[in-house]
Structure 1
Amino acid sequence: MQKCTLQILPCTVSQLLSAYPDHDETFAIGDLELNQVSLVGIVRSCSPGVAYNQYFVDDMTGPPLTVRQWIDTEDLSSQMQPEPGVYVKVYGSLRIFQGKKVLLAKAIRRIKDLNEITSHMLEVVYAHKQLFGKGRDVNMNALCARSAGQTFSEEYRRAGLTAVQEQVLHVIIQHSVKDHGISFQDLVTLLDYMGIPEIRKSLSFLLNEGHVFSTIDENHFRSSVD
Structure 2
Amino acid sequence: MWNNAGDYDGGFDQGGGYLSSQSDTQDKKKTRVQHIMPCTLARLMKAEHVEDKFISDGVELNQVSVVALVLSAQETTTNQVYRVDDMTGPIMEVRVFADNDPDMLESDKVPLFRENTYIHAWGHLRSFGGNRNITAFRICQVDDMEELTHHILECTYAHLYHSKELHLMRLKNAHHFQNRTTNPGQQPGMRPRVDGGMNAAATVDAGDMGLTPVQMQVLNLIRTSVEDHGITTTTLSNQLKGLPRKAITEALDFLSSEGHIYSTIDDEHFKATDSI
User: What TM-score do you get using the length of structure 2 for normalisation?
Assistant: 0.47
Which one of 10, 19, 23 corresponds to residue 38 of structure 2?
10
8 Å contact from structure 1 (residues 95, 102) kept in 2: yes
Please give the alpha-carbon distance, in whole angstroms, between the structure 2 residues aligned to 1:30 and 1:7: 15
Could you tell me which residue of structure 1 aligns to residue 47 of structure 2? 19
| Higher relative contact order (Cα pairs below 8 Å, separated by 6+ residues) | 1
Counting only pairs closer than 5 Å after superposition, residues 1-226 of structure 1 correspond to structure 2 as: 3-23=31-51, 25-74=52-101, 75=104, 77-133=108-164, 177=210, 226=254
Could you tell me which residue of structure 2 aligns to residue 150 of structure 1? none
8 Å contact from structure 1 (residues 26, 95) kept in 2: no
Please give the alpha-carbon distance, in whole angstroms, between the structure 2 residues aligned to 1:131 and 1:13: 17
State the identity %: 31
Could you tell me which residue of structure 1 aligns to residue 195 of structure 2? none
Aligned residue for 1:94, secondary structure, equals: strand
1:2, CA displacement in angstroms? 7.6
Please give the alpha-carbon distance, in whole angstroms, between the structure 1 residues aligned to 2:58 and 2:31: 5
Tell me which amino acid in the other structure corresponds to 1:114: M
Per-residue deviation, residues 94-122 of structure 1 (Å, max 9, x unmatched): 00123210111111110100110000000
Do the aligned partners of residues 34 and 118 (structure 1) sit closer, same or farther apart at CA in structure 2, a change above 3 Å counting? same
Please give the alpha-carbon distance, in whole angstroms, between the structure 1 residues aligned to 2:109 and 2:162: 34
Runs (4 or more) in structure 1 with deviation over 2 Å come to 1-4, 75-78, 176-179
Please give the alpha-carbon distance, in whole angstroms, between the structure 2 residues aligned to 1:28 and 1:134: 14
Q: Name stretches of at least 5 consecutive residues in structure 1 with no aligned partner.
A: 137-175, 180-224
8 Å contact from structure 1 (residues 80, 108) kept in 2: no
Please give the alpha-carbon distance, in whole angstroms, between the structure 2 residues aligned to 1:44 and 1:31: 32
1:61, CA displacement in angstroms? 0.3
Do the aligned partners of residues 58 and 48 (structure 1) sit closer, same or farther apart at CA in structure 2, a change above 3 Å counting? same
Query: What is the number of equivalent residue pairs in this alignment?
Result: 141
1:135, CA displacement in angstroms? 8.9
User: What TM-score do you get using the length of structure 1 for normalisation?
Assistant: 0.56
Please give the alpha-carbon distance, in whole angstroms, between the structure 2 residues aligned to 1:107 and 1:90: 6
Aligned residue for 1:34, secondary structure, equals: strand
